[in-house]
Amino acid sequence: MDLVRHRTASLYPFARFGDTWRLGVIEHPRHGGWMACGGHIETGETPEQTALREATEETGYRARLLPPAGHALPADYPHPETGTEACVDGAPWWTVSMPTGADGRHPARHVHLDHIHVGVVDRPYGPVDRREHPFRWITADELATLDAPADTRILGQVLHELAPSIVAAQCVRPARDEALRKELLRRRDVDQDFRNALGETVTDDVAARWAAMDNDNTNWLKSIIDRVGWPGRALCGDDGADAAWLLAQHADRQPHLQEEWVNLLAEAVTGGDAAPWQLAFLEDRIAVRTEGSQWFGTQFRRPVGGDWEPFPIREPDGVDQRRAELGLNPVDERAKEIADDNPRKP
């Protein structure tokens, strides 16, 4: 007698942490151990929709899918591939036949036809929805000793090797625009000259000129992004990309644009077209404004009569490790640098 077959979809989500890639896994409450997120395909859903929905529900993150890259399953993968006939309404990386025990959908042993997808989370330190299960990001080395099913460990190791190059290949690399680069650098220099000349007291006239400059830069940058997307390294060079980030960082008077642009910057960082530290600064800028705390300790304040200090930091014991992944110095060193550069006037 043939076993009952249920169609399911799963997702292996990856995220970039500086130069390190990590795989996101959930701790399953029934099966035990750590594994990829996933679940049953509901009526009216495609496998892709199920994979993304389950990822959001189980991990709290909103991922984006990577198109199948045509790689074969590892030779030691324990479940047989079923072929394309099992998936008529989507394009997973693989569809495999996985025997499973009784669950909430069937009271006896049956088979899951699992549609395996691979995706990325561009903002691992960005907004997270409520998650159903414990979740963690793991490196390839951690995966080797993880309490996880064999299929998760075997496929996860292979995907750890493939994901960076596949993500990079998906990142569009436009031709260099030297005129755009020069204008970005010009606006950066004007911005920095103005801010460096500010005194401790800002008059109404200075404040008005400051606002006019920032709004002009923000509106100009919006016109560029609307036309060409995020101005990354390929389009503008390293220094031009840095200048684009600086203008976005100073677009505080139009916060809705910062909250749109952080997603574009995050995708550029994932694809290697922007520096990871830029995303950390912009994530912190937005988080301090909206939630009052930050992950990387990049945003500082100086209380009246006090010394320079970072705004509150989430999970502060790990902040220096997070900063080191991005090539940033420890937060206490950074505080001293800011204090040295901005001494109190007698």
DSSP letters spanning 212-268 = HHHHHHHHHHHHHHHHHSS--HHHHHHHHHHHHHHHHHT-TTSHHHHHHHHHHHHHH
Please check whether residue 114 is in contact with residue 51, taking contact to mean a CB–CB distance below 8 angstroms. no
Residue 2 in this model has a pLDDT that exceeds 70: no
The whole-number pLDDT of residue 69 equals 84
Weakest mean pLDDT among 63-77, 87-101, 129-143: 87-101
- Structural domain boundaries of the chain? 5-170, 178-341
Backbone angles phi, psi at 127, to 5 degrees: -60, 140
Residue 1 has a pLDDT of 47
- The matching CATH number, chosen from 3.90.79.10, 3.40.449.10, 3.40.50.2300, 3.40.50.2000, for 5-170 is 3.90.79.10
Q: How far apart are CA 172 and CA 291, in angstroms?
A: 33
Q: How confident is the model at residue 173 (pLDDT cuts 50, 70, 90)?
A: confident
Question: Other C-beta atoms within 10 Å of 5: how many?
Answer: 14
Assess whether pLDDT exceeds 60 at residue 331.
yes
Q: Determine the average pLDDT of the residues in 80-108.
A: 71
State residue 101's pLDDT score.
Answer: 64
How would residue 107 be classed by pLDDT, with cut points 50, 70 and 90?
low
Mean pLDDT across 308-330: 97
Question: Residue 201: what pLDDT?
Answer: 81
pLDDT tens digits, 251-309: 999 999 999 999 999 999 999 999 999 999 999 999 999 999 999 999 999 888 788 99
Residue 111: predicted pLDDT: 82
Average confidence score pLDDT of the chain: 91
Residue 32 tokens read as 């035990």
Q: Per residue in 220-251, pLDDT tens?
A: 999 999 999 999 999 999 999 999 999 999 99
What pLDDT is attached to residue 234?
A: 95
Angle at the Cα of 21 from the Cα atoms of 271 and 149, rounded to 5 degrees: 130
Q: What percent of the chain has pLDDT over 90?
A: 75
